[in-house]
Structure 1
Amino acid sequence: MGVGAAATTGVQAAYGHLLDPNRKWYNNRRLIALNAWIVLLLITSSTNGYDGSMMNGLQSLDQWKSYFKFPTGGKLGLLNAIQNIGALAAYPFAPYLSDGLGRRPTIFIGAVIMCIATAVQTASQSVGMFIGARFLIGFGLTFAANAAPMLVTEVAYPTHRAPLTSTYNSLWYSGAIIAAWTTFGTFKIHNTWAWRVPSALQALPSVLQVALIWFCPESPRFLISKGREAAALKTLAYYHANGNDEDPLVRYEFEEIKAAIEFDRTVTANVGWKSLFATPGNRKRMRIIIALAFFSQWSGNGLVSYYLNKVFDGIGITDPTIQLLINGILQIWNLAWALLASAFVDKIGRRVLFMTSAAGMIIFFTLQTACSAVFANTGSEGAAHAVIAFIFLFYAAYDLAFTPLIVLYTLEILPYQLRAKGFNVFNFAISLSLIFNQYVNPVALDAIKWKYYIVYCCWLCFELVFVYFFVIETKNRTLEETAALFDGDSATAQIAATAAQQAGVTHDVKDEKSSGSFHEQAPVLTK
């Protein structure tokens, strides 16, 4: 894949002129209802964020450390990593449930497992019981985390899709905030409820999903893939056009989804795992997806996300109250930056955000490393405070892209037939990177202290080079248009022509051979 972004000319070139200018999310009760259901899906990410921040907080609680006999080294790594080991066990099954049963049933199954697991975790009487419960949490979370973001991106109103899908991963920090401040609040409890209360609260998002998920709309793309076209059209019409199934936007969405799914079936007769790497377009997708998954965890953020207490110990901040307080403030800071970036994904663009994020991380992590070295050699209090400042600035840079965009970009570049399996590979790669981080980071920090940061400084430079050469721009496109970018002009033109013809509108393809931009080839639709 070459350098640079594909040309984009704005949402109006594709479907923008079909949108009712008076139909806003805040003045249309059905869009309000749709976005409310999407919030129910988004909180799946909060569960994951809660877990990481809770484990960070528990490591600062003497009540937790003493109850489990002060775990260190490999045992501490296992307590953190076991959730991701549980996720690995579920990955072979998650995409088959999402594609076979549907997005909603898969979320329900995952939420039920997590409710059971958090109950066991809260009641743990031994370290083995606690580890087993965390394994189940990871196992259940995999099902919900596979289906929920796909349902968000497949059911959202066209102009809301990118910001809402970006918000999914951004809400990781909402769970982290609740966990950080919960552990800070229970710090004063002088018994095991200091850690049992945070453990119990981890179930809250899953309880809400178990109770409400069946009222949420199912993915129109899933329904069409199963031959339930009438149900898909009804869902699109109800939420996107106040029930009018003849609305030109609804007709265009419906026919484009049908055309894209039919095209994928024709090209990929066998949609097994091999198909993810069977064509040049799919190999390009998987190269980007796997790289972004590892980048999201190997950018130095894993040090603070899971071992903040060790980072602080390394700069002389050992008071648990101060550690917990900084952790709580950091999560609020992260959420603010991630949500800000989510709001601008279609205005600024994915490529610009990725490159800005990578460059910013290099600068601030290098400065954090330098200040850590100064403290190690001089014990300077000013250097310690500078480390904290650069941690905050590093996360601001990280949150511009590697929080909001990784899920959005992965889902939108995958065609429907490969979306569940491809997204499962993305989550699998994240789990592998996390397991490595959670085992290696504490050992490396204990062994070589701040010098371990130099490894991440070098790796961040590689990330910037990769993003520059391989990430292309995808803003202001529908899911079908974006996915077709990787399959060549013939794919985009065929999907556009079929959708326009079936919708009964005028089709005008401009300069198909000379441009790689679907927007320059987009059908001109008239009612």
Structure 2
Amino acid sequence: MASSDRQHVSRLVPRSSSTLTVLLIVVAVVNSATLGFDSSMMNGLNILPQYKDYFHLNASTRGLLTAGSWLGGVIATFFMQWVPDRFGRKPTILIAACIGVVAAIIQGAAQNTGMFVIGRILSGIAGQLSGGAAPTLIGETIKPRYRGTILGIFFSCYYVGSLIASAVNYRTVDIATTWAWRIPSILQCVPSLLSLACLPFVPESPRWLVANGKPEHAREVLAIVYENNVSETTEVLEEIKTTLKYEEEQYPANPWKELITGTPNLRRLVIIVSFGLLIETLGNFVISFYLGTMLTQAGITNPTTQLQINVILNCWCFVVAVVGSFLLDVVGRRKQTLWCMVGMIATFYIAGGLTKSFGESTNTSGIYATIAFIFLFQGFYSASITPMTTAYPPEIMPYHTRNAGIAVFRFLDCSTGMMYSFLMSYAMDNLGWKFFMVNASYDIIFLVVMYYFWIETKGIPLEEIAVKFGSETMSDGGDGNATFVDKGGVDIGVKQA
């Protein structure tokens, strides 16, 4: 389809499917980098003496300043379903990027704790709105065979922002004034500005367009995605239309009510709830936000050395997360996550034991071994949970409840993050090495839930994943005939759509 023939899709959107795929990857990178920059920046600021002295940090104020973005994230979850479904995926990303720019300006210009917290709250709102809308846009637009990899890359690029932030913090540690923490705060706006620059070149989600009465617009988008293959474009469009019609007939109620209606949706909810709770509670949160405290307990007290380790750790996590993203479509979502969970539990137990034995000693080998197991833990996390964070929730939820499910997922993620922001300040001070043992022990519960409830979605089109939950679903082969499948996944006949 030549750009001159377009009636709905902007001429700025490329005609090439491969170019569009690259642009969608760029959208993934810049939106995910926003979240990564924010968390790593706070990790670095919590190490900087200039920041700690300016805000007179203690356990409570450190928790408050760190928790600000999580509070914003909790607020954002109440709009995460309504805004993308009402206005579209692209406008939601636009709104989030604008809020992100304002947040960076306020935080960078902060004169007191209150002003800094307001900037953090707005930053959290921006991050979660884009973090909900961007992966949904990508998942609903990209071809199924690329979906797992690209959605995995989405959150893996969290470490792109994280790496940049840790490098910025490392370079500003020698600035004697408040610019040591103001510069990283202001630079938070860069990913948001890049997101604004990319948006004109990507289309709206074809599934959102069909759901909102714009099938011809959706056809033009799908024609680009499927390289002007008329039969494939028509087949996919008809499958989307048929599935959405079926979902509307089967689930006419409010999507929030549908989340708790029927066994298949309840199983989806169990996965969403367990996943939302474990993202920040596996042990990674304390490494992401309180690495300085962990390293101090391990025997490394020099701020510059701690910041150097932070940079290296983020490089390591980024490489492992990208590799893990590609492996999702090779090993499979469920198997890869289960094995990495076993690795996380084992390495956290060992890291706790090493901290107890060598944390207050001068044994260099013991201290290095502790750091090595912290790196291994983050490696297992980055290879599984990081890419799964944006790949899995959009896949397992049907269109009608997708954004509602993601909102629940993000609400639990942000709520636990906010809770941990306060608790970890005290836990690390009071429990020390025992924290590792406690955390690793309740990680076993999450492992059991994963084993019994999580399903495999590798390589399955979004409209067909419902069968894996044992629910009746309907697909359309493009000829107007809707195929019904019973709870065992057996074809039980066709019906004219």
Superposition TM-score, scaled by structure 2 size: 0.92
Shift of 1:463: 1.8
Contact 1:271 1:417 in 2 (8 A): no
Letter in 1 for 2:223: A
Query: What are the residue-to-residue correspondences of 1:8-19 with 2, within 5 Å?
Result: none
Specify whether residues 378 and 119 from structure 1 end up closer, same or farther in structure 2 by C-alpha distance, changes over 3 A only. closer
- Rounded to whole Å, the distance in 2 between the matches of 1:356 and 1:505 is 43
Please state if 1:504 is matched with 2:457.
no
- Rounded to whole Å, the distance in 1 between the matches of 2:492 and 2:274 is 30
Equivalent of 2:374, from 391, 394, 402? 391
Shift of 1:80: 0.5
Q: Which residue of 1 aligns with 2:262?
A: 279
Please state if 1:68 is matched with 2:43.
no
Letter in 1 for 2:203: P
**Aligned to 2:432, what secondary structure does the other structure show?**
helix
Please state if 1:365 is matched with 2:352.
no
Contact 1:312 1:318 in 2 (8 A): yes
Q: Which residue of 2 aligns with 1:260?
A: 243
Contact 1:31 1:240 in 2 (8 A): no
Equivalent of 2:163, from 154, 177, 196? 177
Contact 2:28 2:157 in 1 (8 A): no
Contact 2:69 2:124 in 1 (8 A): yes
Specify whether residues 37 and 507 from structure 1 end up closer, same or farther in structure 2 by C-alpha distance, changes over 3 A only. closer
Query: What are the residue-to-residue correspondences of 1:189-228 with 2, within 5 Å?
Result: 189-228=175-214
**Aligned to 1:124, what secondary structure does the other structure show?**
coil
Equivalent of 1:112, from 93, 98, 102? 98
- Provide, for residues 58-106 of structure 1, a one-character-per-residue CA deviation record: whole Å limited to 9, x for no partner: 112122122222x111110010011110121222122111000000111
**Aligned to 1:317, what secondary structure does the other structure show?**
coil
Q: Which residue of 2 aligns with 1:81?
A: 67
- Provide, for residues 91-141 of structure 1, a one-character-per-residue CA deviation record: whole Å limited to 9, x for no partner: 212211100000011111111011011011111111221111111111222
Equivalent of 1:330, from 313, 327, 338? 313
Q: Which residue of 1 aligns with 2:5?
A: none
- Provide, for residues 355-382 of structure 1, a one-character-per-residue CA deviation record: whole Å limited to 9, x for no partner: 1111111111111011011124755332
Contact 1:53 1:305 in 2 (8 A): yes
Q: Which residue of 2 aligns with 1:421?
A: 404
Contact 1:83 1:134 in 2 (8 A): yes
**Aligned to 1:297, what secondary structure does the other structure show?**
coil
Q: Which residue of 2 aligns with 1:35?
A: 22
* % identical aligned pairs: 34
Specify whether residues 522 and 377 from structure 1 end up closer, same or farther in structure 2 by C-alpha distance, changes over 3 A only. farther
- Rounded to whole Å, the distance in 2 between the matches of 1:393 and 1:407 is 22
Contact 1:42 1:149 in 2 (8 A): no
**Aligned to 1:360, what secondary structure does the other structure show?**
helix
- Provide, for residues 310-366 of structure 1, a one-character-per-residue CA deviation record: whole Å limited to 9, x for no partner: 001112201011100000000110011111011121111111101111111111111
- Rounded to whole Å, the distance in 1 between the matches of 2:62 and 2:423 is 11
Contact 2:28 2:135 in 1 (8 A): yes
Shift of 1:515: 4.6
Equivalent of 1:293, from 276, 281, 290? 276
Please state if 1:302 is matched with 2:288.
no
Q: Which residue of 2 aligns with 1:159?
A: 145
Shift of 1:210: 2.3
Contact 1:357 1:399 in 2 (8 A): no
Equivalent of 1:480, from 432, 453, 463? 463
Letter in 2 for 1:33: L
Shift of 1:383: 1.9
- Rounded to whole Å, the distance in 2 between the matches of 1:389 and 1:219 is 43
Superposition TM-score, scaled by structure 1 size: 0.87
Q: Which residue of 2 aligns with 1:21?
A: none
Shift of 1:406: 2.6
**Aligned to 1:357, what secondary structure does the other structure show?**
helix
Q: Which residue of 1 aligns with 2:8?
A: none
Equivalent of 1:238, from 224, 229, 240? 224
- Rounded to whole Å, the distance in 1 between the matches of 2:360 and 2:48 is 29
Please state if 1:51 is matched with 2:38.
yes
Contact 2:29 2:158 in 1 (8 A): no
Specify whether residues 514 and 423 from structure 1 end up closer, same or farther in structure 2 by C-alpha distance, changes over 3 A only. closer
**Aligned to 1:277, what secondary structure does the other structure show?**
coil
Specify whether residues 507 and 480 from structure 1 end up closer, same or farther in structure 2 by C-alpha distance, changes over 3 A only. closer
- Rounded to whole Å, the distance in 2 between the matches of 1:271 and 1:258 is 20
Instruction: List gaps (5 residues or longer) in structure 2.
Output: 1-14
